[in-house]
Amino acid sequence: MAALLSFVTIMAGRLSGKRPILAAACFQATFFAIFWLVTAGTAWTITADMQQAVHLATLFLAGWLIGFVIPFAPGGIGVREAAIVTLGAGQIDPATLLSFAILTRLVTLGGDLSHGLASYCALFLTALRNRQASISQ
């Protein structure tokens, strides 16, 4: 899996100047593969069954895509969780589905917050450096 991800990422880098749409598709495929792996790892913390973790990760991606296309739900909030619980009903224990849906929401929220804060700090430091450089001239 890691080799395939590396290959797709390298191909995306090579194609970025020649065929930007194909490069974007490669980067998007890499993102989804990595996102699926992170979600499978999250599912593994809830259930020790690898097959169930893979199934939960796949349900998450389906729920994420469904939440992405619903225009009135920012960040797919509520829609993604409902899709996970609905799509997995009858196949996986409801308590496991609900705890997975809540845990994935917390993990993605934590990722959004940490990346947003890091971006804000980087922007602030860049502005501070630029201001100091203009003062010293």
CA 128 to centroid of chain Cα atoms: 31
pLDDT at 66: 86
d(CA 7, CA 85): 34
Token pair in block for residue 117: 């804060």
| Tens-digit pLDDT profile for residues 84-123 | 888 888 888 888 888 888 888 888 888 889 988 998 888 8
Which pTM value belongs to this model?
Answer: 0.70
Residues 72, 28 contacting (CB under 8 angstroms): no
Residue spans of the domains in the chain: they are 2-136
**pLDDT above 70 coverage of the chain, percent:** 82
d(CA 97, CA 62): 14
Asked if pLDDT for residue 21 goes beyond 70, the answer is yes
